[in-house]
Amino acid sequence: MELLLSQRERTYLTVIKHLTDEEGFARLSKIAKEMSISPASAYEEINHLIKKGFVQKTNKGIKLTEEGEKELNKAIKAHRVVEYWLFNLGFGAAEACNYAKKFDYMVPLEVIEKLYVNLGKPETCPHGEKIPE
């Protein structure tokens, strides 16, 4: 069974990705600010993510590795597929998002894939955001 990122890891990778998209790289101080934690705690978590191979340090700042991008994509897919499913069951889009956050990271990827196919490979989540294939 392939495990997804933990919720915490995913949050970090998402923040790093956002900052990188905006500024080309992520600074530790900005990551800490976005996460509302001290730079020391952010530093510790970044080191954990570097050891796992999801994040790398460059001269300018912190970036996702290719592996990190791939894992984040899987996590995004899991979230949006679960959202879509809950929305289909009759929950509102916001509610579907909140429920999905609570357990999408615990659903095995194989189950996400089956659900995705079973739902007819939806292109977007209930918020109109693209579901990666």
Closer Cβ to Zn ion, 63 or 80, answer by number: 80
| Part in contact with Zn ion (CB under 5 A); list of ranges 9-17, 28-36, 44-52, 76-84 | 76-84
Bridge partners, residue 100, by sequence: none
Helix 28-35 with 39-51: angle, nearest 10 deg: 110
* 5 counts as binding Zn ion under rule CB under 5 A: no
Question: Contacts for 111-119 with beta carbons within 8 Å, 24 or more apart?
Answer: 112/77, 112/78, 112/81, 112/82, 115/81, 115/82, 115/85, 116/77, 116/81, 119/81, 119/84, 119/85, 119/88
Closer Cβ to Zn ion, 71 or 83, answer by number: 83
| Part in contact with Zn ion (CB under 5 A); list of ranges 16-24, 40-48, 50-58, 90-98 | 90-98
Half-sphere exposure of 66 (CA within 13 A, CB side): 0
* 125 counts as binding Zn ion under rule CB under 5 A: yes
| Part in contact with Zn ion (CB under 5 A); list of ranges 47-55, 64-72, 106-114, 118-126 | 118-126
Choose, by CB under 5 A, the member of 78, 97, 112, 131 that binds Zn ion.
97
User: Which residues of this protein are in contact with Zn ion, per CB under 5 A?
Assistant: 83, 97, 125, 127
